[in-house]
Amino acid sequence: MPHDLPAETSSQRETCAVVLAHLSDPHLPPPPVRWWEALNKRALSLISWKKHRRHVHLAAICMEIVQDIARANVDAILVSGDLTNFGTPAEFTLAAEWLEKLPAQTLVIPGNHDCMIRQSPEKGILQWEKWSGATYPYARIHNGVAIIGVNSGIPTPPFMAYGRVGHKQLARLEALLTQLGDAELCRVVMIHHPPRKGLVPWRKSLLDHPAVAKLLQRTGAEIVLHGHSHDATLTHIAGTEIPLLGVASASLTDKRAHRQACWNHLTIRPRKSGWTIDLARHRPDGSITEQASWFRPQGTQA
């Protein structure tokens, strides 16, 4: 029930910090794809996987990321999409088994690979309903922190990987962010495609990113998390001071530092007039490559 708020308000918040782990794009090793499942866009993705991507997206690296998260004793793990490679029903099932074994309460949203072709929700994203919701956007609340999951994944033509939030989700998102803001909760928005121009090529972009940015300018949010780019980035939502935090793929090996596998360790502490949010970006071995900190005043929109 993504729009239902529990009785908890800021006056009832616990004073302890909420610690979140953000990872994305693990591209878990796929089971065999049956021939009739590849009579569509999946055929191109399958060729890419066999020729290149399976050599750089390594299960061992992703396992090290999960082990490091386990040592950090986080309150929740946020996975911002692309658990699968081809979005087959069998991949969704294996991904659900992976989610079940993660070392903390987990929330997930789908990415473009998870939504590669049209199929019934029962074969796809509803297999992850336990860690998300039956509808998007959804919200889950823990000690004064609200995690809002948005689905930007849509089926696209060959060689395209763009996304869209769409009018229905935008309307629900605006109502939800307003409601959560009025309840004085720290709002953490999670979306797969970055809602900002220039972080990915057009063919991979969020088509309605201007509408998402304008919505966030109106309603506010304390931080926005995304995946998809496979880049560890730190920017802002256009026209606001809202931090926009990207993360490299959780399974990727790459010579470029900003594309090497990592996860974002976020610590959110309530203050009298807002929240402090501390970031430490972790490599699989636990080393920290980047740190940042923000104070997000309560009641501000942008």
pLDDT in tens, the chain (302 residues): 334 434 344 444 446 899 999 999 999 999 999 988 999 999 999 999 999 999 999 999 999 999 999 999 999 999 999 999 999 999 999 999 999 999 999 999 999 999 999 999 999 999 999 999 999 999 999 999 999 999 999 999 999 999 999 999 999 999 999 999 999 999 999 999 999 999 999 999 999 999 999 999 999 999 999 999 999 999 999 999 999 999 999 999 999 999 999 999 999 999 989 999 999 999 999 999 999 999 999 876 66
Give the other-Cβ count within 10 Å of 236's Cβ.
15
Burial class (CB in 10 A: 0-12, 13-18, 19+), 21: buried
State which H helix or E strand residue 245 sits in.
strand 243-245
Instruction: Report how far residue 302's alpha carbon sits from residue 297's, in angstroms, rounded to the nearest whole number.
Output: 10
Instruction: Please report the pLDDT score of residue 301 as a whole number.
Output: 60
User: CA–CA separation, 282 vs 170, rounded Å?
Assistant: 32
Measured distance CA(134)–CA(127) in Å, rounded: 10
Q: Find all residues with CB under 8 Å of 142, minimum gap 6, and list them.
A: 18, 75, 76, 105
- pLDDT, position 35: 87
Structure token digits, residue 215 = 């919505």
Three-class DSSP category at 64: helix
Chain centroid to Cα 14, Å, comes to 25
Report pLDDT for 300: 61
CA distance 183 to 9: 6
The domain locations on the chain are 10-297
Q: Cβ contacts of residue 47 below 8 Å, gap of 6+? A: none
CA–CA gap between residue 110 and residue 212 (Å, rounded): 18
Q: CA 26, CA 85: separation in Å to the nearest integer?
A: 9
In CATH, 10-297 is 3.60.21.10? yes
Give the span between the Cα atoms of 244 and 225, in whole angstroms.
Answer: 6
Whole-angstrom distance, CA of residue 279 vs CA of residue 283: 13
**Amino acid (one-letter) located at 203:** R
